[in-house]
Amino acid sequence: MILIKSASELEAMRRVNQMTARVRNAVAAYVKPGITTLELGNLAQKMIREMGGTSAFYGYYGFPGQICVSINDEVVHGIPGRRIIQEGDLVSIDTGVSFGGFVGDTATTAVAGKIDGEKQRLLDVTQAALAAGIAKAVEGNRIGDISHAIQTVVEEAGFSIVRDFVGHGIGKEMHEDPQIPNFGKPGRGPKLKAGMTLSIEPMVNLGAEKVRVLDDQWTVVTKDGSPSAHFEHTVAIGKTKAEILTLPQRTPSLF
């Protein structure tokens, strides 16, 4: 069942997703060659604590990290640890925060130092695919419209969509109905209604679409070793456009 959030629930979703976006941005800005992925996890933990929240990922099915940090061929669910970030790495930062009974979820892929043109194109296309999906996240459309828009942008660029992991509804739980595949046919799937809140998250591989899970039971990597990118926003469906809950809002000034 896809839950429609009330006005007060949407307000709580705005609050927690703003917190989550702040952590995402701070951690992404901290990415540089020479630091460990655990330093990124520790920064996230400190920020989440200071804001009075908790990591939505830590302990989720036993996940041992505060955030997910996934480098190069790692697609998602990388565990912060002793790995040292190198010049030219693509570093996906996926952040989940619980606060006030609701969950925020957002991801970005940051860059350590300089990257080559093909990796940059992978980042640009993945963000464009996310934007195309969000543009379809309006009342009256269907989940398949979001899925198809994402797939089209990715495949026209010559990259491939990861099929084993998908976006999702979100609210009091991190993973609610519906699932949001990053591939599919327009006009199919559940109908969108204002007040639904969805996490849309294309995972895009420079090479082939197949992935596998490492021996740590968490880290998902591309089978062919090619780099992968991941961007995620949590949105609220609106009547004419989606509200992106994980875009940082400017603090209103009194003057």
For 64-213, strand residue ranges (E) read 68-71, 74-76, 90-99, 102-111, 160-161, 167-169, 176-180, 197-200, 203-205, 211-213
What kind and span of H or E run contains 130? helix 117-135
CB of 229 closer than 8 Å to CB of 126: yes
Indicate the residue among 39 and 105 with the shorter CB distance to Mg ion.
105
Indicate the residue among 77 and 142 with the shorter CB distance to Mg ion.
77
Of 84, 95, 88, which is closest to residue 54 (Cα–Cα)?
95
Under rule CB under 5 A, residue 147 binds Mg ion:
no
- Minimum distance, C-beta of residue 215 to Mg ion, in the bound complex (Å): 23
Indicate the residue among 200 and 221 with the shorter CB distance to Mg ion.
200
Quick one: which segment of 104-112, 122-130, 131-139, 208-216 binds Mg ion (CB under 5 A)? Answer: 104-112
Distance CA 221, CA 79 (A): 12
Quick one: which segment of 35-43, 45-53, 99-107, 202-210 binds Mg ion (CB under 5 A)? Answer: 99-107
* Residue in 39, 73, 105, 145 binding Mg ion, rule: CB under 5 A: 105
Distance CA 53, CA 63 (A): 17
- Minimum distance, C-beta of residue 166 to Mg ion, in the bound complex (Å): 9
Indicate the residue among 173 and 224 with the shorter CB distance to Mg ion.
173
- Minimum distance, C-beta of residue 232 to Mg ion, in the bound complex (Å): 5
Compute how many other C-beta atoms are within 10 angstroms of the C-beta atom of residue 128: 17
| Cα–Cα–Cα angle for 209, 84, 66, rounded to 5 degrees | 75
Distance CA 162, CA 165 (A): 7
Indicate the residue among 43 and 180 with the shorter CB distance to Mg ion.
180
Binding footprint of Mg ion, residue count (CB under 5 A): 2
Indicate the residue among 155 and 173 with the shorter CB distance to Mg ion.
173
- In the region spanning residues 184 to 203, those forming contacts with Mg ion, defined by CB under 5 A, are 199
- Minimum distance, C-beta of residue 234 to Mg ion, in the bound complex (Å): 8
Q: Could you list the residues that contact Mg ion (CB under 5 A)?
A: 105, 199
